Amino acid sequence: MASATPYLVLESLAKYSSPISPVIYPHLSLVLLMVGLIFTGWFFVYEVAATKYTRQLYKELGIAILASLFLGFGFLFLLLLVGIWV
């Protein structure tokens, strides 16, 4: 007959630590949101100032993707900062 599996002792396990320290969440969220807003402003100014003939699709996509990434990660760290663990 096979022996019973020993119980898992929680005290013997290593505590999980986040790859990014929660201490820097405020700074990280602020910087990422500010950079995202700068890229968003740049995108809007580019769209308003460019004519139909001077617009470049890859430039528009690049600016929009960067703005989206920075705002997304900034909002993520803002949620983590206020205690909404996602």
Asked which of 6-15, 62-71, 74-83 is least confident by mean pLDDT, the reply is: 6-15
pLDDT in tens, 35-69: 999 999 999 999 999 999 999 999 999 999 999 99
DSSP 16: P
Strands (E) in the chain, as ranges, are: none
What pLDDT is attached to residue 2? 55
Residue 9 pLDDT level (bands cut at 50, 70, 90): confident
In whole angstroms, how far apart are CA 54 and each of 26, 41, 49, 80?
A: 39, 19, 9, 41
Which one is predicted more confidently, 62 or 10?
62
Q: Is 51 exposed, middle or buried (0-12, 13-18, 19+ CB in 10 A)?
A: exposed
